[in-house]
Amino acid sequence: MADSPLAAPTAPTFYFIGVTTGQSSSQRMFPLWMEALGRPEVVWRGVDLPIHADPERYRQVVAHIAEQPLALGALVTTHKIDLLAAARDLFGELDPYARRTDEVSSIAKEGGRLVGRATDPVAGGLSLDAILGVDYFARTGGEVLLLGAGGSAAALSLHLLQKPHPGDRPRRVVVVNRSAGRLARLRQMVEQFDTDIRFEYVQNERPQRNDELLAALPPASLVINATGMGKDTPGSPLTDDARFPQNGVAWELNYRGELDFLRQARAQRTARSLTVADGWDYFIHGWSQVISHVLAVEIGPEMLARLSQLAADVR
């Protein structure tokens, strides 16, 4: 089928592997970015897979990119862990972050080999730093509630673990996840570090329990929705009765979808002096990191500002 995502490409092609890729701003943004980067011949192609897809589907997609000469590489969202678990042997090289977190968000080709990178620790880290500012945890005494223990939760944990200045590290991070496997995986990564951050792991999928964990946080704590709920799946990990911490920060990793968690946070923004952020900056950093890797182009601060503006124009 000519319009199948895995039909042989007829132009240099950049793949976007996600759940509902057709609804992403990236489809509109991509041609503008290629024009700005001097690569207008490169086209965008979305590959939609269900969450926790059959490993064979991941292998087919990765093998397709490896085998097709016009397939340049891919950005992977949501499937970062499952894809690597299913297709690790198809990669010629993995960068240190991919090895640490056992996930890939960027697939490029170098000398005929597939090179996987985890760009989220950098992209998510840049976004988080911009939201919090320097010395946030020393200034405020806030802690972190990380809802979800998937790829981006691991990346953000890694970012916090590697913060050189103590004031940028929270005292405590509580991580909540539905399946035990993802929590065990995250714990295994955290235990490779000699850290003063206390990680606590809670297996739970009941929003009422998350409300309780939220209520137990000190003021100024950071709450992150890294579950994909409100975009990949319906709802929010919290109930509408949840109370965000006074002077806290609520960060929804997505920028599109129903975004129920963002709505809940915005409803308390004034009353509880919340800082509320969505995933737009994360999206821009993530895409620029992966495009730089796949197309082997430098994207400096000036170009990043230009790309960011182009994306905002078609958001």
Ligand X SMILES: NC(=O)c1ccc[n+]([C@@H]2O[C@H](COP(=O)([O-])OP(=O)(O)OC[C@H]3O[C@@H](n4cnc5c(N)ncnc54)[C@H](OP(=O)(O)O)[C@@H]3O)[C@@H](O)[C@H]2O)c1
In the complex, least distance from residue 112 CB atom to ligand X, rounded to whole angstroms = 28
Among 9, 151, 170, 248, binds ligand X (CB under 6 A): 151
Question: Which residue's C-beta sits nearest to ligand X?
Answer: 150
- Closest CB 8 distance from ligand X, rounded Å: 28
Q: How far apart, in whole angstroms, are the C-alpha atoms of residue 88 and residue 47? A: 19
Q: Does 150 bind ligand X (CB under 6 A)?
A: yes
User: Between 69 and 234, whose beta carbon lies closer to ligand X?
Assistant: 234
CB contact set of 60 (below 8 Å; sequence gap of 6+): 6
3-state secondary structure of 170: coil
* Footprint of ligand X on 241-280 (CB under 6 A): 253-255, 279
Contact (Cβ atoms closer than 8 angstroms) between residue 60 and residue 33: no
Which neighbouring-strand residues pair with 44?
Answer: 14
Q: Which of 16, 251, 261, 282 binds ligand X (CB under 6 A)?
A: 282
Using alpha carbons only, how large is the chain's radius of gyration in Å? 19
Q: Binding residue for ligand X (CB under 6 A) from 153, 160, 197, 277?
A: 153
Query: For the chain, what's the residue count?
Result: 315
Binding mask 173-192 for ligand X (x = CB under 6 A): ---xxxx--x----------
The residue assigned the tokens 């209520």 is 215
Which one, 72 or 226, has the nearer CB to ligand X? 226
Min dist CB 169 to ligand X, Å, is: 21
Question: Which stretches of the chain are assigned E, i.e. beta strand?
Answer: 13-18, 43-48, 71-76, 93-94, 106-110, 113-117, 144-147, 172-177, 198-203, 222-225, 249-252, 275-277
Neighbours of 196 (CB within 10 A): 10
Smaller CB separation from ligand X, 7 or 309: 309
Contact between 152 and ligand X (CB under 6 A)? yes
Residues that bind ligand X (CB under 6 A): 77-78, 80-81, 120, 148-153, 176-179, 182, 205, 226-229, 231-232, 237, 253-255, 279, 282-283, 286
